[in-house]
Chain A
């Protein structure tokens, strides 16, 4: 028998469905991001639509199930964008479906520009969500600065639906720059690449991307802004980075960064995919420990995408501070290793208690985050 899917059309219906749930719920929206739990599927896809867009205030309010594509189209019409550059997981995970804005924030999905402008969580201004008892909660608002009470907005960003199901999000958007350009330092190994990226990120030139491709042996640095300013800064960087190796300008900056964002290099390859967050300078030592089949480095070295044979416990090989998330693997591996890294005991206890407060019946994405 095909499983029924709960698909509320309004926040009121969402409340009823959660309050009336008899067992665990698997909270999904587009279902493209590879985070799932056991239980009846509850999809927020039906809660769709942009409710408010004020280009002059750089803010948008949208229902959680609104497709990212719809939002990006609206923003582009006004010369604006989601500056934190959320990745599209479909190619990497082989998932289909339509990515939604609620999923972006629930999973705190950010791309290469995260190092310069912040993560999804830094752009989320306000939320409405329904907790595990079916109670609607609002936090934050739609203004840029807000310290009124506790910041549950941050808590909800990256909670992967375990504290409540997002019904509405308001967020900050930014103007699209006039121009973008990328320089590559070619023929460098990881150790040098990390130095290149560190030098670029530590320059006054407002770098908005710093990534390394170990196959091509190229370190990439992106600059965005007004055309004249981009030219100027590219010139300065080319001169400055020449001490590390030959420097070239990349022709198609836009598609390059889309590939880096979506980890295109791993698409279709067999094996498990991990995502590791560390201090950038630890990347060199860590890369040795990982015994990976393939690697990609973003965020100046601080974000490492790793391809390893299926079933590998990568965390057991990591001896530097940070955390590793299992992004793509079979059900057995996911169950055995957990998608999220276990937190140190005192933090795990706090997180567990928070979940127990917001979802006392333990029905929202049960077990996904611990």
Chain B
């Protein structure tokens, strides 16, 4: 993976930049010390690292605006950062960039149960948004597995999803308004507690724009009343194909569970060893969860179990109580951690039409043999969002490259069957160079035009999302300064 070489003219002005920033920020909000900036050298895609030139940690929208104005005047690239849990390298700095972290902006600004919205500063973590409304039995629906750590800022930038998105939608479906600071320091309010945009749906294009259009400092989010109850059922099959067919049948039958999660044998084994959730050893496990009152749950699970049985499961376990429900989810929720214990892995995120699940799983198996690298599959099956984890050895020369090649093949496969490169993690640097497999140069040009409008000089997170060769002419503006 290639990053643009740092602009030496900018590096040479580091002291001047720091001096200017120190006039608009409190002392503790500017980090220059190399030992400290190193903490920001990567996000959760740890294979790539590069300490930034400077780090700023503002506390207010005004400070964000001031910082951006200064950087804009001096032509310095800025990389926004939330909690740094991106798996796509979205928050990866370049050596000539300023990291603008919003982690200190974590206040709840307003909770409004009558209108079912909450307004927060975007440095607030995903789980603590739900935490803020829990006492009234409300919650914020998008639930990425990283929800304890990741910030709303990153969720908006990546349009993050989660296990329960099958019913509640992803971030963009739950985001009602933002305060956005543009690269030149202009602060704009988009949307709010009312539904639907008045003019063009700018909110829709900002969500998922990976920190390239502006820095989001505040957000109005939809909150929902918690369901009366929820209960998962665990279903085991002796082949991936059959499990895939079961998923498709459940959806076709008109039952709409809140979550359908899928794990294959390598993943089950790792989770079991790590979390001891008591999973049966089989080829494929489904966790299907439904919500409602006790009777409603019984009814829906009854229908699901009937469908599951028609595919001859090797295991069928309905949670009898909260404790058992917890254990059913435990393994799934610790899947990434479990895999991390036994191996280095790369987590893919392609999405496919649900009907292609059996075929794609078979092809991934074949690619695994061909490359000689293990793959564990754990993913949101209801919406076709796959998470193949490719296992490799970071200490073995060439293994990372081999793994990346195999990852690229899997993602191309996803596109081939009518899917896409990334369902919820974003493009970042990781999938940047594959964009031309999904989109034509003209398709990409239309997207670049949007960035041209919001950030004409291409200073915000410029080396991400699009192949460098495609953005070269635009990023050159900054180099010519």
A and B found bound together: yes
Is A346 in contact with B252, judged by CB distance below 8 angstroms? no
Cross-interface CB contact of A149 among B161, B172, B202, B439, cutoff 8 Å: B439
A3 within 8 A of B: no
A202 within 8 A of B: yes
A136 within 8 A of B: yes
A341-B198 contact given A145-B383, A354-B450, CB 8 Å threshold: yes
- Among A160-216, those with CB < 8 Å from B are 162-163, 174-178, 198, 201-204, 206
Cross-interface CB contact of A302 among B195, B226, B427, cutoff 8 Å: B195
Is A148 in contact with B186, judged by CB distance below 8 angstroms? no
**A131, A146, A158 pick with most chain B CB within 10 angstroms:** A146
Q: Which of B31-39, B108-116, B235-243, B325-333 forms part of the interface with chain A?
A: B108-116
Is B450 in contact with A148, judged by CB distance below 8 angstroms? no
Is B161 in contact with A278, judged by CB distance below 8 angstroms? no
Interface size class of A (residues with CB under 8 A): 35 or more
Is A202 in contact with B114, judged by CB distance below 8 angstroms? yes
Is A138 in contact with B383, judged by CB distance below 8 angstroms? no
Q: Which of A32-40, A50-58, A86-94, A251-259 forms part of the interface with chain B?
A: A50-58
Is B200 in contact with A369, judged by CB distance below 8 angstroms? yes
- Interface residues as binary, B64-77 with A (CB distance below 8 Å gives 1, 0 otherwise): 00000000000000
Is B423 in contact with A147, judged by CB distance below 8 angstroms? yes
Report A76 CB to chain B, min CB distance, Å. Answer: 13
B125 within 8 A of A: no
**B204, B226, B439 pick with most chain A CB within 10 angstroms:** B204
Report A362 CB to chain B, min CB distance, Å. Answer: 15
Is B435 in contact with A354, judged by CB distance below 8 angstroms? no
A323-B443 contact given A54-B353, A56-B248, A151-B207, CB 8 Å threshold: no
Is A157 in contact with B351, judged by CB distance below 8 angstroms? no
Q: Which of B41-49, B93-101, B289-297 forms part of the interface with chain A?
A: B289-297
B16 within 8 A of A: no
Which residues on the A side are within 8 Å of B201 (C-beta)?
Answer: 108, 121, 154-155, 157-159
Cross-interface CB contact of A226 among B182, B194, B299, B438, cutoff 8 Å: B299
Q: Which of A6-14, A67-75, A112-120, A329-337 forms part of the interface with chain B?
A: A112-120
- Interface residues as binary, B378-408 with A (CB distance below 8 Å gives 1, 0 otherwise): 0010011100000000000000000000000
A350-B453 contact given A108-B196, A202-B116, A277-B195, CB 8 Å threshold: yes
Q: Which of B306-314, B315-323, B414-422 forms part of the interface with chain A?
A: B414-422
B1 within 8 A of A: no
CA distance A343 to B207 in the complex (A): 20
CA distance A119 to B182 in the complex (A): 27
CA distance A283 to B209 in the complex (A): 33
Closest to B465 in A: A149
B188 within 8 A of A: yes
CA distance A176 to B255 in the complex (A): 10
A321 within 8 A of B: yes
Cross-interface CB contact of B423 among A79, A143, A152, A351, cutoff 8 Å: A143
Is B205 in contact with A150, judged by CB distance below 8 angstroms? yes
Q: Which residues of A contact B (CB under 8 A)?
A: 54-59, 79, 108, 110, 114-115, 118-119, 121-122, 131, 135-139, 141-155, 157-159, 162-163, 174-178, 198, 201-204, 206, 225-226, 228-229, 232, 277-281, 299, 302-303, 321-323, 325, 340-341, 343-344, 346-348, 350-351, 353-354, 357-358, 369-370
List 9 tightest A-B contacts by C-beta distance, closest first.
A154-B204, A323-B198, A175-B254, A145-B423, A144-B383, A279-B193, A357-B449, A143-B351, A137-B446
Extra 9 A-B pairs, beta carbons < 8 Å, given A110-B196, A299-B195, A354-B200: A56-B251, A79-B254, A137-B442, A141-B438, A147-B423, A148-B431, A303-B195, A340-B199, A354-B450
